Amino acid sequence: MPKAAPKARKSIAVAMFMLLAAIVVLFGRIAWVQFVEGSELAEKARTQLRDNKLLQSPRGTIYDRSGRELAISSLRKSLYVNPRELNKDPVAVATKLAPILDMQMETVRDRLMAGGSFVWLKRTLEPEAAQKVIDLAKAENIRGLDFIEESKRYYPNDSLAAQVLGFVGTDDVGLSGLEMALDKTIKGELVKQAVDTDSYGIPILGSSVMFKPVKQGKSVFLTIDSTIQFIVEQSLDKVMARTHAKSATVIIMNPHTGEILAMASRPGFDPNRFYRYGAGDWKNRAISAIYEPGSTFKAVVAAAALQEKAVGVNERFVDKGFIEVSGRRIKNWSGDSYGNVPLIDVIKNSINTAFVQIGLRLGAERLNSYARAFGFGQATDIELPGEEEGLLFNTKNMRASDVATMAIGQSIAVTPLQLVTAVAAIANEGVLLKPYIVKEIYNADGSLAAATPTQRVRQVISPDTAKLLSGLLEKVISEGGGKRAAVRGYRFAGKTGTAERLKESGGGYEAGRYIASFVGFGPVEDPQVAALVVIDDPVGDYYGGEIAAPVFGEIMNQVMRYLTIRPQNAAEFTVIPAPAHAAANTGQKPAAPAAKPGPGKVAVPSVLGRSIRDAGDIITGAGLVFVPSGSGVAVRQSVPPNGIVNLGAEVTVYFESR
């Protein structure tokens, strides 16, 4: 035994030495990894467990001219599934998810069973729906569902100016209207976002939800006035219901600047739910529909003839009720014969035979030259996609009968924007301006990036000719076929139009189908607005003076009040009583009786609990200017019910969804 002790001690010493050596080597290796290879290995780990994803920052806001929001963006959760991690029966999960996502159960099931590691279930959920998904996943212990933040576009005024604004697809790409035309300007940046992932490259621990946009797109201010736009759209809805027309269009512009104050078409759509509508509803007819202008084009013919002195203001024309040109008989729209008539009656009664004579005096060359000088036959290049150029004759190929039909607005095609721009030139002392709808563009930091100036195109006719023609066109409303376009207390000028409807397939006209229109401007002494109303294929009455002129008058009556343009004759400016049902069914406590309004005053009716359309009817019916804010039902108004205000005052009504 004593001899064995040294041997044992020797073995222990060897073991201790080896253990110590191992520890030294281990610490050496740790030191080497930590201090020599540490950075390289950490980078490899980060590369393997982190992915870079391109995420879209929000688009810039679109405002009207006064800073009211027309299109806004906000971040929303987009739901995806990792089918490899799904721990529940896909059919059972799909059955519960489908109603939350407002999707077919079969569609959700197929996506849950698609395989792979990443499948979108639904993009940009509303907050309520996202929370229901989160609650369901927690309650049922469902793994494999997660979210990524994405930008979603909202239109707070629903269908207001829908064809102008357009809409955005699920990948934040503008697909129509200004959203498409300005896509590169207002679209946010693609931001590279580091996302922690698992071994399959799927985001873990909700890291992708922490995305913070660093820079949104540029914001845009339009020339559109949302109040005037609302007035226009309200009138369009009424005329569509009244006439059962196929479509209708209204444009209002400032003749001194070229700014578009309102542009609307019907049928319309809600860009928040654009996928529920057809391409025909998305179409901006103000720039993309071409039609024969009919008698509204006679304002251009008269301008050319007066400027060229092809007619005298006191000249008289002999009308037999018809005229034959190159074997073609052209009759008056009314079928009447007016006999020996002065130029003023030719214009105010829109006598076809006399305009044919005027057109033949001008000849093909001059008639076409003035048409092009007024902007027909070419796009205006407004900042909207899909603008048509219209159709004019090739002068070299024109026969006398072509000159005759062109002189009465037939055998050519124009867009509504071209026509209102041309008539605005008459209102603007003969100067044609380029129409525009984008007023200013601002960078994300609030600095001005661009501003659109008023752009003079050319002097088409002299100021004297424009003034003379304005006086003649005023007679159309005060004494002629446009009487129903009259605006009480104001002097307006205008021209009616009724044209046969071209076949959509080309080659002739559709029997018994017409396009009614009215174009005008005012007040004549200092025109502030020019406007066009086009009603396509109405049922029943189809003359422009019968159905389009009243729409013009209704709109201008409200616009004059809104712009606070004082009437020349205040005595003619009467108040239309508010409807008797104005305070009914609101669910609100009735307001206390108001004192009787004095001269030029009006008691503001209650619109609480009402829809935007009903509130607009009630407020405007009381002789006031309606300014909507938000959507849903009315919850507050800037002037309390029964408050006494001046006739024509603004009343802002605030709406919220319920």
Q: Give the residue among 392, 346, 389 at the shortest CA–CA distance from 365.
A: 392
**Structure-token match 């996502």, residue found:** 101
Helices 416-427 and 298-307 meet at what angle, rounded to 10? 40
Q: Which two tokens stand for residue 116?
A: 């792979």
In sequence order, the 6+-apart residues with CB closer than 8 A to the CB of 53 are 148, 192, 193, 195, 203, 208
| Helix (H) / strand (E) containing 241 | helix 226-243
Q: Give the residue among 184, 181, 189 at the shortest CA–CA distance from 216.
A: 189
Question: 64-95: buried (b, 16+ CB within 10 Å) or exposed (e) per residue?
Answer: bbeebbbbbbebbbbbbbbbeebebebeebbe
- CA distance linking residue 158 with residue 160, whole number of Å: 6
Q: Quick check: helix, strand or coil at residue 154?
A: strand
Q: How far is CA 587 from CA 50, 437, 605, 607, 608, in A?
A: 56, 40, 15, 10, 8
Catalytic residue among 78, 159, 295, 350: 295
Q: How far is CA 448 from CA 61, 218, 224, 439, in A?
A: 14, 10, 19, 11
Q: Give the residue among 249, 246, 282, 244 at the shortest CA–CA distance from 264.
A: 249
Q: Give the residue among 426, 433, 430, 434 at the shortest CA–CA distance from 460.
A: 430
Question: 31-46: buried (b, 16+ CB within 10 Å) or exposed (e) per residue?
Answer: eeeeeeeeeeeeeeee
Is residue 653 within 8 Å of residue 637, measured between CB atoms? yes
Q: How far is CA 657 from CA 169, 416, 475, 583, 612, in A?
A: 24, 35, 48, 20, 11
Is residue 549 within 8 Å of residue 594, measured between CB atoms? no
Please give the radius of gyration of the chain, using alpha carbons only, rounded to the nearest integer. 35
Question: Number of C-alpha atoms within 13 angstroms, CB side, residue 220?
Answer: 24
Q: Which two tokens stand for residue 416?
A: 């509504």
Q: Quick check: helix, strand or coil at residue 174?
A: strand
One DSSP character per residue, 497-560 reads EEEEEEPTTSSSEEEEEEEEEEEEEE-TTS--EEEEEEEES-SS---IIIIIHHHHHHHHHHHH
**Structure-token match 């030294």, residue found:** 24
Question: Vertex 230, ends 600 and 561: CA angle to 5°?
Answer: 20
Q: Which two tokens stand for residue 276?
A: 């529920």
Active site residue 295: yes
Strands 50-56 and 438-442: unpaired
Return the bridge partners of 291, or none.
414
| Helix (H) / strand (E) containing 448 | strand 448-451
Report whether the peptide linkage leading into residue 599 is cis, meaning its omega lies within 30 degrees of zero.
no
Question: Which residue numbers are catalytic?
Answer: 295
